[in-house]
């Protein structure tokens, strides 16, 4: 056992994080299958640095013009929520 998530459908361990409405979801970067989900509120109160983009779809890189906000999760959670609450998928990308 390891600490990597693996897709049950295709076996890939590549993941993408998205937010839609009040859900924080991890999906397979290869096939787009949902792997796990939790409440966005459960994860949004951290200081981890991220960038939030309008999601271009699984396996695709977000375009720079689709940036919603960047900063600590705690600082940009409202901006993410405002977009995700409309039904738009928001891709979260952790800063290295």
Does residue 7 have a pLDDT over 50? yes
Would residue 6 count as lying in a domain? no
For the chain, what is the domain count? 1
Q: Would residue 32 count as lying in a domain? A: yes
* pLDDT, average across residues 14-35: 88
φ and ψ of 36, to 5 deg: -155, 150
In a domain, 1, yes or no: no
The answer as to whether 7 is a domain residue is no
Query: Is 9 among the domain residues?
Result: no
Kindly report the pTM of this predicted structure: 0.82
- 46 pLDDT band (50/70/90 cuts)? confident
The answer to the question of residue 72 being in a domain is yes
Q: How confident is the model at residue 41 (pLDDT cuts 50, 70, 90)?
A: confident
pLDDT at 68 over 50: yes
Angle at 13 between CA 71 and CA 89, to 5 degrees: 45
- Domain range for 41 is 15-94
Residue 78 lies in a domain: yes
Within-domain flag for 22: yes
Residue 1, pLDDT score: 36
């Amino acid at each position: 056992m390891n600490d990597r998530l693996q897709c049950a459908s295709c076996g890939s361990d590549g993941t993408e994080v998205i937010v839609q409405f009040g859900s924080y979801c991890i999906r397979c970067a290869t096939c787009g299958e949902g792997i796990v989900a939790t409440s966005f509120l459960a994860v949004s109160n951290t200081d981890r640095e991220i960038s939030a983009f309008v999601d271009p779809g699984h396996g695709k890189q977000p375009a720079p013009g689709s940036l919603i906000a960047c900063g600590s999760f705690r600082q940009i959670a409202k901006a993410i929520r405002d977009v995700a609450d409309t039904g738009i998928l928001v891709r979260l990308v952790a800063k290295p």
